[in-house]
């Protein structure tokens, strides 16, 4: 069964601090996709990144970076020099093979608060 | 503008009164689904649809119905709502299921309270 664990329920940092959001997943499939979504206080869900199981390269997008490590089944998300606008709930999600149409399994989310 | 729309955005109702939450997408996506979001549980899939007239249960389908008569619309029906269905509901669509690597586009959410 799929499972995504985001052990950090809430994190609070001061602006300009770096912060890492952890995501650990479980799957028996060799082909799968991992996603991160952001849910700002306004409530919508915003897609941030997708990573397939065969691509372990880390990715950087501005102040955001993602570290995918299959050896530890983790897909962690780091925000560098955090800003107040980064305050949101962040969800990690897993999708297994296309034969499984019961789509994405989400973690419980991590609420990040960035204080000025 | 490419988007997923949901209506209503907020709804307060009473136990047993049938309600429908509409969902529509304008991206010609094959795959649509409904999720509910509850504190500490993240998002859980209720129902999904691979295409017109093709629907199937997700992880938490009890108490819900769906239909897919047109490609763009995927309404969520609560025949007899109960207080444990109080939640934040999201409709989502994607070209194909996320198992193919497609991200889902989410609607703005519907906050439902059942008294």
pLDDT (tens digit, 9 = 90+) per residue, A10-30? 999 999 999 999 999 999 888
Chain A CB within 8 Å of residue B65 CB: no
Position A102 scores a pLDDT of 63
Q: Which residues in chain A are closer than 8 Å to B36, comparing Cβ atoms?
A: none
Position B99 scores a pLDDT of 81
Position B47 scores a pLDDT of 95
Chain A CB within 8 Å of residue B62 CB: no
Position A56 scores a pLDDT of 86
**CA dihedral in degrees (A24, A28, A32, A33; nearest 10)?**
-20
Position A68 scores a pLDDT of 95
Distance of CA B85 to the CA centre of its chain: 13
Q: How far is B8 from chain A (nearest CA, A)?
A: 15
Instruction: List chain B pLDDT tens, one digit each, 115 residues.
Output: 889 999 999 999 999 999 999 999 999 999 999 999 999 899 999 999 999 999 999 999 999 999 999 999 999 999 999 999 999 999 999 998 888 888 899 999 999 999 9
Of the candidates B58, B104, B108, which has its C-beta nearest A102's C-beta? B58
Cα–Cα dist A33/A110, whole Å: 20
The token duo for A10 is: 């809430």
Task: Give the Å distances, CA to CA, from B3 to A39, A40, B72.
Answer: 16, 18, 11
pLDDT at A1 over 60: no
Task: Give the Å distances, CA to CA, from B100 to A104, B44, B67, B70, B113.
Answer: 11, 19, 23, 23, 35
Q: Residues A77-114: pLDDT tens digits?
A: 999 999 999 999 999 999 987 666 667 899 999 999 99
Please tell me which residue, A58 or A114, carries the higher pLDDT value.
A114
Q: Considering only CA atoms, which of A64, A70, A87, A9 is closest in space to residue A34?
A: A70
CB contact under 8 A, A35 and B103: yes
Of the candidates A52, A102, A106, which has its C-beta nearest B42's C-beta? A106
E-strand spans in A2-63?
3-5, 10-14, 19-21, 24-26, 33-39, 46-52, 59-61
Position A57 scores a pLDDT of 85
Cα–Cα dist A1/A36, whole Å: 20
pLDDT at A2 over 80: no
Chain A CB within 8 Å of residue B30 CB: no
Position A101 scores a pLDDT of 62
Of the candidates A47, A50, A93, which has its C-beta nearest B101's C-beta? A50
pLDDT at A49 over 60: yes
Q: Which pairs with CB-CB distance under 8 Å and at least 24 residues apart come from A59-66?
A: A66/A36
């Amino acid at each position: 069964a799929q499972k995504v664990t985001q052990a950090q329920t809430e994190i609070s940092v001061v602006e300009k601090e770096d912060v890492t959001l952890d995501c650990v997943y479980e799957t028996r499939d060799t082909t799968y996709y991992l996603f991160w979504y952001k849910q700002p206080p306004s409530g919508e869900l915003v897609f941030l990144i997708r990573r397939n199981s065969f691509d372990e390269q880390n990715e950087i997008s501005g102040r955001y970076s993602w570290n995918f490590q299959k050896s530890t089944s983790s897909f962690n998300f780091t925000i560098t020099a955090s800003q107040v606008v980064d305050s949101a709930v962040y969800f990690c999600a897993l999708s297994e093979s296309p034969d499984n149409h019961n789509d994405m399994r989400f973690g419980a989310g991590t609420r990040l608060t960035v204080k000025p | 503008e490419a988007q997923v729309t949901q209506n209503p955005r907020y709804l307060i109702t009473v136990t047993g009164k049938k309600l429908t939450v509409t969902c529509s997408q304008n991206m010609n996506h094959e795959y649509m689904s409904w999720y509910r979001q509850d504190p500490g549980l993240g998002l859980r899939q209720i129902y999904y649809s691979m295409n017109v007239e093709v629907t199937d249960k997700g992880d938490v389908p009890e108490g819900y119905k769906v239909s897919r008569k047109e490609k763009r619309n995927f309404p969520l029906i609560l025949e007899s709502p109960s207080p444990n269905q109080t939640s934040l509901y999201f409709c989502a669509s994607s070209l194909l299921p996320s198992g193919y690597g497609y991200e889902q586009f989410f609607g703005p959410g519907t906050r439902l309270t059942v008294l």
